[in-house]
Amino acid sequence: MTDSARSSSKILCYITAPLEVTKVITCKAVNSLSSLMVSGSEELVSSVLRLENISNMKCIFPITVAVPFRAWYRLNYHEAVVKVVDQQQRISYVTPAATEGTYGGHRGTFAVVRVYTLGVFAVLSCLQRETFTIPKRGLCLKLSVDSRICLHYPAGSFSTPVVAQAMVQPVDAMLLSSLKYRNDSCHSILTTSPLLYLNHPLTVSPLRPLTLTLPCPPKPKTMKTGEEKTCTYSDSTALIPDTTSSRQVRLIVLRLLSSVRPSCLVFFAEELQESVRTYRVSIVIHKRQKDPSSVVLAVLPSRDLSWGLTELHAQAYCGSPEQSSEILMREGEQLLVKFSSNITSTGDQCTEPHTLTFHNQRRNWLCLQLKELDPFGNYSSPYYKGTALLFQIPKDQLVWKEDKAVISEDYCLGQPVCKLTLTLPKNVKTLSRPISAKFLRQDQAESLCDELLAWLCSELSEEDASMLVMCLRLRRSSVQLARLRAPNSLELQIFHILTTWRQALPSLTPKRPLLAHCLTRIGRPELAAELLKKALAVDTGERSGAETQRPVTVHGPPLHVIKGET
């Protein structure tokens, strides 16, 4: 089944069913619902897809659905399950009959399940559930996920056979160190066992105490490796809820350096349970190499930051990695993106806000097309400047609306969790003017071309040149620089002096009358008249075009020689 909502032929799943059933089933990706498809310690490892019946024909069940997925972190404590939400939003978990297969000529990882309803499907990575039956004669069980954990139910624990479940959540040593760093009251906790979750029926209570064995890492330099701690419900380091009405019991063994108040232990256990579901992430913004307005906003787990940046570079996204400080996010939480200053993104943000959902085992990228708000803004900078503001949206503030997880209307945004600067290069705009307009510009109509200056240099004597320098009021440094550039040629010296004087004048200053006035003051009125006459001939040649243009005859050193030596 391909995505029916798009023109692309991206394969979402494979369905095995009678032919008349497959003709009336449609499939589309609804990844906007991914936030609401995970809970607890679940992690999304596939696309979220919806299967619907487009006709009134009754579907023949069961049908077999194979959903491709990719799990980056496969541990003994986790398993892949398919979560199904039917049309009445009832939730069910289906254990795949297989997790590998060959479909469409390609062998890969597929969650193959037999289902009896249509709705929303997703493959999740969950803590492995081990289901077992406790008979009246008792049970001694070593869990398959971790054989070091042993549950011993003595005979007579229950009056009737009971079905129970167990799940194991490992605790990373780095996580324990960070918790001890943030809480001074927890420094006496040396090591912990994995978290053990036990599910018993609500209607039946155990008649005899349960004995369990949990592995707890040894105390450094004093205990032997592999030594285990055995505890019962009465052990002070086994934390259990105060009420027995809860279906699930939370259990953990703590190795202490010294005595700790029970309230601190309970607080530590609750914070530990939340921390194992929280991830440290960094947010980066990179630009596409050939299109700076196309950027990608990526949320990368801190432990995979270098690998994530390498993947961005491989996809032609580069630039200075504008990176946020580490923030804490849970699976399925959203980031709302807003823009300030002179940069925004294309599209109507009022009706379609930009959101990015974080999933630990998925690619968390949001591609954006940026544009400037005011093309005349940031005039003193070669770039348009703006800021991306990111707000963290808790999962309990997301509601199901059609095929999207939207923010509750009652939720008020707090302070942004991070701010990232944005820049856009300014494009050079070419202004089109009529051809005749250039003859109206005073700086072009009265410009002194190099040919006229070269002719004038050949007509001036050394005495004339000295008097002209004084009349033009040039700096002594300009005259000295001209002498250094052409020590053996008076004409080149005068040419350098006149070009320096021409460049120093404002563009709209009438240069020809000013130079002719100076020539008259030094006693060379005939040169002033000839200069204006030749300049008029140059202007007439420019207006007549290339066919009627007449060259100006000048005397003195060739112009290419002057430019070459300049």
For 441-457, the pLDDT digits (tens) are 444 445 678 888 888 88
SS3 220: coil
pLDDT at 335 over 80: yes
- Topology of domain 278-425 in CATH is Immunoglobulin-like (2.60.40)
Quickly state the pLDDT bin for 559 (edges 50, 70, 90): very low
Tens digit of pLDDT for each residue in 29-46?
Answer: 999 999 999 998 999 999
Bridge-partner residues for 231, per DSSP? 212
Contact 212, 229 (CB under 8 A): no
SS3 402: coil
| Total Cβ atoms within 10 A of residue 469 | 22
Of 553, 452, 530, nearest to 494 by C-alpha is: 452
User: What is the assigned CATH class of domain 14-127?
Assistant: mainly beta
Q: What is d(CA 425, CA 372) in angstroms, rounded to the nearest whole number? A: 10
Residue with tokens 């095995």: 16
Quickly state the pLDDT bin for 496 (edges 50, 70, 90): confident
Contact 123, 45 (CB under 8 A): yes
Q: Is it true that domain 437-565 has CATH number 1.10.533.10?
A: yes
Contact 251, 266 (CB under 8 A): no
Tens digit of pLDDT for each residue in 291-312?
Answer: 989 999 999 998 888 898 899 9
pLDDT at 132 over 90: yes
pLDDT at 552 over 90: no
What's the pLDDT score for residue 352? 65
- Residues of the chain with pLDDT > 90, as a percent, come to 42
Question: 307-329 in b/e burial notation, b at 16+ Cβ within 10 A?
Answer: ebbeebeeeebebeebbbeebeb
pLDDT at 238 over 50: no
pLDDT at 437 over 80: no
pLDDT at 221 over 60: no
Name the residue with higher pLDDT: 239 or 314. 314
pLDDT at 28 over 90: yes
Domains 14-127 and 130-275 fall in the same CATH topology: yes
Tens digit of pLDDT for each residue in 380-422?
Answer: 888 999 999 999 999 999 999 988 999 998 899 999 999 999 9
Residue type, 461: S
Q: What is d(CA 348, CA 59) in angstroms, rounded to the nearest whole number? A: 40
Work out the average pLDDT over 98-127: 93
DSSP state of 278: E
Among 172-186, 214-228, 276-290, 395-409, the minimum mean pLDDT is found in 214-228
Contact 309, 300 (CB under 8 A): yes
What's the pLDDT score for residue 206? 86
Name the residue with higher pLDDT: 511 or 28. 28
pLDDT at 239 over 80: no
Architecture of domain 130-275: Sandwich (2.60)
What's the pLDDT score for residue 501? 85
Identify the helix (H) or strand (E) that includes residue 445.
Answer: helix 442-445
Quickly state the pLDDT bin for 429 (edges 50, 70, 90): low
What's the pLDDT score for residue 441? 45
pLDDT at 232 over 50: no
Contact 29, 47 (CB under 8 A): yes
Work out the average pLDDT over 174-179: 86
Residue type, 370: L
SS3 496: helix
Q: What is d(CA 179, CA 13) in angstroms, rounded to the nearest whole number? A: 42
* Phi, psi dihedral angles at 432 (to 5 degrees): -85, 125
Cα four-point dihedral sign 118, 119, 120, 123: negative
The domain ranges of the chain are 14-127, 130-275, 278-425, 437-565
> What mean pLDDT, rounded, does the chain reach?
83
Of 391, 283, 284, 408, nearest to 335 by C-alpha is: 391
Q: What is d(CA 176, CA 473) in angstroms, rounded to the nearest whole number? A: 80
